[in-house]
Chains A and B, each alone.
Chain A
Amino acid sequence: MTEKLDDNARREKPRGFRLSLDGWAVTLALFLSLLVALGVIKKIPW
C-alpha cells in the first residue's frame, strides 16, 4: 500500500533543489557569523 504521507510528500515535492525557510535562515545567520569572525564585518551598532 502506498503510504499516505509519502504520497503527500511526493505530490508536494518541487522540481530541483529546494531549501526550507529554516534552512535559508540558518544559512544567512551562519554566513553573517562567518563574516564577523573573519573581520569582514567589523562592528554592528545598535
Chain B
Amino acid sequence: MASSVAITQVQPVGFARRVVELLPGLALLAGVGYAGKFLERTINVYGKAHHLTLPNIEYVLWAILIGLAIANITGVPAIFKPGVATYEFWLKAGIVLLGARFLLGDVVKLGGVSLVLVAIEIVVSLVFMTALGRAFGLKPKLTTLLAVGSSICGVSAIIATQGAIDADEEDASFAIAAILALGAISLFVFPVIGHALGLNDLSYGLWAGLGIDNTAEVTAAGALYSDAAGKIAVLAKTARNAMIGFVVLGYAIYWARKEGTVAVGNKAAFLWSKFPKFVLGFLLISALATASIFNKEQLGSLANLSRWAFLLTFAGVGLRTNIFEMRKQGLRPFAVGAIGEVVIAALTLGLVFGAQKFLH
C-alpha cells in the first residue's frame, strides 16, 4: 500500500491547493467506478428486457477493466495522478466502515482462526521465499523485501521493511513491481480457481485473504466472487495486516545484528508505528454495531458507504496497473515472486481446507 501518500496538516493555502490538486483524479476514480456500476446495471436491464441470458459481470470487474484500459492505452495524465493515488485512502476508510457488517463475536472467531492460519502462512512463506531468493541468486535484501511482500501485506510491508533494514530504493522498486504484477494476476485467477473447486464463500474469502498479497487486490478478488466472500476476504487480510509490525521488527533486528548496527530502541513504540491503525477503526465500528448503536437502516447506510469507498478503490486498482511499466522490471525478482505466489496460494488453500471444521 502506498503509505507514502500522507495528508499533512499545513497552512490553509497549502491545504486548499492540495485539495484542488486531488480533485481531477478523484473525479476520474468516481467516473470510472460509476461507469462500472452503470455498465453492470445496464447490461442486466437490457438482458431482462430482451429475454437474453447475458453473463452477470460485476461492477468490480468493469471498474478494474476500464481503469486498466485507460492506464495502458492512453496512460493516466499527470494532472490525475495525485487524486488517483488516494485509492488507498478510500480502501482503508471502506474497511473501517465494513466493520459495521460484522458482529464482534464473528470478528473474534473468524479473526482468531485467520490469525492462526496467518501465523503458519507467514513462517512457511518467509522460509520458502528466502530459500528461493538464494537459489535464484537475488541480493539478500531484495529477497527479504520479496519475502515480506509475499507473506504479509504487499506494498506497505515492503515500504515499511525497506526503511527498517535500510534496503536500496531499487530493490524496493523491483519487489513492489513484482508484487503488484502478481497481485493483478491473482485478482483474475483466484475467482476462476475458486469457482472451479466449488469453494463456498467462507472458504474462498479466507483463501483470498490469506493468499493474495495486496489489500486492494484482496478486496477486489473477494468482491468478484460474492459480497459475502468479499467481507470474509477483507477480515482475513486485516488479521494478516495486523502482523506487519512483528515481522518488520524481526527483520530490522536480524539485519541490524548482521550489519553490526543497533536496530530498534523502544520496541513497543516501533510496533505501534508500524501497526495499521485502520484495523483498530474496523474493530471499533464492529464493536459499536454489536452494541446496537446503529439501527438496521443505519447499518445499511454504513454498508453502502463502504461499497462506495471500495468503488473508488477498484477504479484505482485498474488505473495504477501499467502492464508495460511492469515488463521493464527484472525477470528474476518476478520469477521468484511468481513461484512463491503459486506455492503460497497452494499452501493457504490447504490451510483453509484444514481449518474448515473450526469454522462451523
Contact = CB atoms under 8 A, between A and B. Distances in A.
A21 to B, nearest CB: 6
A3 B293 CA distance: 46
Q: How large is the interface on A (under 10, 10 to 19, 20 to 34, 35 or more residues)?
A: 20 to 34
Q: Interface residues of B: mostly helix, strand, loop or mixed? A: helix
A30 B92 contact: no
A42 to B, nearest CB: 8
Given A32-B97, A44-B308, A6 B277 contact: no
Interface in B261-307: 261-265, 270, 273, 276-278, 280-281, 284-285, 288, 293-294, 297-298, 300-302, 304-305, 307
B8 A21 contact: no
A44 B276 contact: no
Interface string A28-39: 111011001100
Contacts of A25: 89-93, 96, 278, 281
Nearest to A39: B298
B277 A46 contact: no
Given A5-B164, A26-B281, A21 B297 contact: no
A44 B301 contact: yes
Interface in A1-46: 1, 3-6, 8-9, 14, 16-26, 28-30, 32-33, 36-37, 41-46
A18 to B, nearest CB: 5
B217 interface: no
Q: Interface residues of A: mostly helix, strand, loop or mixed? A: helix
B260 to A, nearest CB: 11
A36 B294 contact: yes
A33 B97 contact: yes
B301 A18 contact: no
A5 B252 contact: yes
B9 interface: yes
Contacts of B281: 25-26, 29-30
Given A24-B89, A29-B93, A4 B297 contact: no
10 contacts: A16-B10, A18-B8, A21-B92, A25-B281, A32-B305, A33-B97, A36-B301, A36-B302, A37-B293, A46-B304
Interface of B: 3, 5-10, 88-93, 96-97, 100, 163-164, 166, 252, 256, 261-265, 270, 273, 276-278, 280-281, 284-285, 288, 293-294, 297-298, 300-302, 304-305, 307-308
Given A19-B7, A21-B6, A25-B93, 13 more contacts: A3-B262, A4-B166, A9-B273, A18-B8, A21-B5, A25-B89, A25-B281, A26-B278, A29-B97, A33-B97, A33-B302, A44-B305, A44-B308
